[in-house]
Amino acid sequence: MRTLQEKRPYKGGKKLPKWQLLTILITMILMLISALPNFYSQQSSIEIVPQKNSIANVSMERLNSLLSNHAIDVASIHNTDGLTQIVLASNQQLTAAKKILKNTLADRYTVQSKQTSKAPQWLKSLGLQPIKLGLDLSGGVLFILEVDSESAYSEKMDLVRQSLQSLFRKAELRGIEWKINSKKIIHIRFSEPTQVPIFFETISEQLKKQFPELLLSRKDTNNLSLSFSEKYQLEFHQQVMQQTLTTMRSRIDDLGITEAVTQRQGHHRIRIELPGIKNSKDAEKTIGATASLDFYQIQKAGGKRFKTEQGEIVSVNPKVIFSGDNISDARAGRDNVGVPLVNLKLDSIGGKKMLRFSSKNIGKPMVTVFKQYEKNDRGKTVSKSRVINIATIQSTLGKQFSITNLKTIEAARELALLIRAGSLSAPVTIVKRQTIGASLGQSNIDNGLAALMLGVGLTLAFMALWYRRLGLVANIALLFNLVCLLGLMSLLPGAVLTLPGIAGLVLTVGMAVDTNVIIFERIKQEKKCGRNIATAIERGYKNALATILDANITTLIVATILYGIGFGPVKGFAVTLGLGIITSLFTGVFVSRALTLLFHQATKSPFTKTIATNLGGNNR
């Protein structure tokens, strides 16, 4: 019976539906186009953008002359509406050129570096970008920050204490003892029993309005305690971490770094990767800054006391007029006589506060206090404040005004950068910094690609020798899989290729081939059962699907867990592995099946005989 089946002329197996073939074809074309930018090298460029619309672009002749005088070779300069782009002949001169342009043009222009592709213009017009490279491949700087949320919580409890003290003074309650213990609980002891009813009738309600989450517990007649619940403390920590993450991302955007990675690491740490950064000093100043500004009204006696840069003591009203949180923008500049200053722009809330205060205090001084967190000799985080400016209000002010009398333009730029960076609700400390050179990153790329090519080459050779023409189908599907994976990673904005990610690519190659091996071995079993080639192929792909899904779904679950709890290189490996599983399923099941059916239908009986030879009674 089996012999009769083999000699029966082929009448055509099950054909692939046209819509499936069309879907596969369109998907492959889209993935190929999105993967193309990865095959073109990158070049460094510098973009110069006017800070105001009224400022014209810098002339190309001036830029060319300025850089040539410093022995910097320029490949091209392009002027467009609102943007000037300079492409350097050598990427090694990028840092020097950027520094020269910043020192010359930073008063009126924003200077930032950018990586551009050498891809043709039609490909750039599609908005496609190559895969973002991680820190270990492109070089750059790694920072690990520690967020001291305990200090922020202590400051909140201190604010409760100040409010409580003010309410006691207004209620004329004296002789009350209170203290904050190590667990941040305020203990209150009343000297007289008659003070307790007054506290509950007036003070407790007002305190609750200011701090709704505050818990009040009574130990006995004369002793009370104030604290926040553990749930609120956990929520407070999460809010502090989220606010710090948001501020750090804003600071990195201000530095002009578009491919940075900013994420939580553990309970109270933040990991920041800045690929492509050559000089970490400027980045460290901005990222590690814990400075903020507060504006006060000066008063002759009492209140808060601050020290000026000259060592004088200034007393101010404890109530802040407005803080750095209300500043939406800050830019360094000069006044009419060339004195450095910082132009501030407030948000709507800050503008209203400034308008209300300035209209009532024309001719009176306003104090600008610069606050910063630092580590003392014992390693404890402490807050240090100093007066950086005392200015007399000349007229009613609104959303825009200036901090004047700064010493140098560099000091003005640094202050503007710190203000734009945003204030933090908790002090941060850089506990680790690591610089990875571009040469080391290139070495990682070369070694990783060499391992990938070796793995792909050996796999292609094995499949071609062992499965012959079906091995050719598997090899074509494998190459399609790599193209799909590159294209998919290029399309996803959050995907970053790291050195472990290259290891994920190598692993993906093995998993993609494993899918074809399962299918081909299933086809061999169907052929041994006496079925013809067309039926064996159809049943082989159908019956192997459950096994393939089981194997890939379990691996995908592991990749998802790694992505959820991992960070840095681990997350990069998880991304590559997860996307590789998806593309392996697509190419191994659908593309491979389409190719097999197309080859089968195109070659008819010759291909049937070849498959019968490869999948018949022998091991092939």
The tally of CA atoms less than 13 A away on the side-chain side of residue 234 is 3
Measuring CA to CA, how many Å separate 372 from each of 366, 429, 582, 609? 20, 12, 49, 80
CA-based nearest residue to 87, from 66, 69, 64: 64
DSSP 143-197: EEEEE-HHHHHHHHHHHHHHHHHHHHHHTT--S-EEEE-TTS-EEEE-SSTTHHH
The letter for the amino acid at 491 is L
Beta strands (DSSP E) in 219-326 are: 223-228, 261-265, 269-275, 292-297, 304-307, 313-316, 322-323
CA distance 44 to 114: 6
Q: 73 lies in which domain range?
A: 43-118
Question: 359 with 427, same domain?
Answer: yes
Q: Which of 102, 118, 134 is the last residue of a domain?
A: 118
- What pLDDT is attached to residue 422? 60
Q: What is the CATH number of the domain that holds 16?
A: 1.20.1640.10
Task: Count the domains in the chain.
Answer: 4
Average pLDDT over residues 363-382: 72
Question: 301 with 325, same domain?
Answer: yes
In a domain, 419, yes or no: yes
In a domain, 326, yes or no: yes
Average pLDDT over residues 195-214: 76
Sign of CA dihedral 432, 251, 155, 265: negative
In a domain, 132, yes or no: no
Average pLDDT over residues 490-495: 77
Question: 373 with 335, same domain?
Answer: yes
Other Cβ atoms within 10 Å of 580 Cβ, number: 30
Tell me which residue has tokens 């600008």.
Answer: 368
The letter for the amino acid at 147 is V
Average pLDDT over residues 203-215: 78
Find the largest Cα–Cα distance for the chain: 112
In a domain, 274, yes or no: no
Q: Which of 382, 399, 434 is the last residue of a domain?
A: 434
Q: Is the pLDDT of residue 329 over 80?
A: no
Q: What is the CATH number of the domain that holds 180?
A: 3.90.1070
The letter for the amino acid at 146 is E
Per-chain mean pLDDT for the chain: 77
Question: 356 with 373, same domain?
Answer: yes
- Residue 569, helix vs strand vs coil: helix
In a domain, 526, yes or no: yes
Question: 559 with 446, same domain?
Answer: yes
CA-based nearest residue to 252, from 282, 287, 292: 287
Q: Which residues of 285-304 are buried (b: 16+ CB within 10 A; e: fewer)?
A: ebbebbbbbbbbbbbeeebb
Q: Are 367 and 390 in contact (CB under 8 A)?
A: yes
- What pLDDT is attached to residue 159? 74
- Residue 1, helix vs strand vs coil: coil
- What pLDDT is attached to residue 250? 74
Average pLDDT over residues 416-439: 72
In a domain, 131, yes or no: no
Average pLDDT over residues 245-260: 71
Q: Which of 2-11, 62-71, 314-323 has the highest mean pLDDT?
A: 62-71
In a domain, 258, yes or no: no
CA-based nearest residue to 83, from 60, 107, 65, 115: 60
CA distance 174 to 14: 95
- What pLDDT is attached to residue 557? 92
Q: What is the CATH number of the domain that holds 86?
A: 3.30.70.260
pLDDT confidence tier of residue 456, bands split at 50, 70 and 90: confident
Question: 419 with 553, same domain?
Answer: no
Q: Is the pLDDT of residue 4 over 60?
A: no
Residue-wise pLDDT tens digits, 503-531: 888 888 888 888 888 888 888 888 888 78
- What pLDDT is attached to residue 258? 56
Tell me which residue has tokens 């690990």.
Answer: 144
Burial bucket for residue 385 (CB in 10 Å: 0-12, 13-18, 19+): middle
Question: 441 with 394, same domain?
Answer: no
Percent of the chain with pLDDT over 90: 0
Residue-wise pLDDT tens digits, 557-578: 988 888 887 766 777 788 888 8
Question: 413 with 500, same domain?
Answer: no
Question: 605 with 481, same domain?
Answer: yes
Q: Which of 434, 459, 482 is the last residue of a domain?
A: 434
Q: Is the pLDDT of residue 18 over 60?
A: yes
Q: What is the CATH number of the domain that holds 324?
A: 3.30.1360.200
In a domain, 620, yes or no: no
Q: Are 347 and 382 in contact (CB under 8 A)?
A: no
Question: 424 with 465, same domain?
Answer: no
Average pLDDT over residues 17-27: 83
Average pLDDT over residues 67-74: 83
CA distance 42 to 256: 17
Question: 378 with 326, same domain?
Answer: yes
Question: 199 with 314, same domain?
Answer: no
Q: Is the pLDDT of residue 152 over 60?
A: yes
Q: Are 178 and 188 in contact (CB under 8 A)?
A: yes
CA distance 520 to 524: 6
Residue-wise pLDDT tens digits, 262-309: 888 888 888 888 876 766 676 777 777 666 778 888 877 666 778 877
CA-based nearest residue to 559, from 619, 615, 487, 507: 507
Residue-wise pLDDT tens digits, 436-449: 766 666 777 778 78
CA distance 514 to 59: 59
CA-based nearest residue to 153, from 212, 239, 217: 239
Least-confidence region, from 10-19, 391-400, 441-450, 473-482: 10-19
Q: Are 569 and 136 in contact (CB under 8 A)?
A: yes
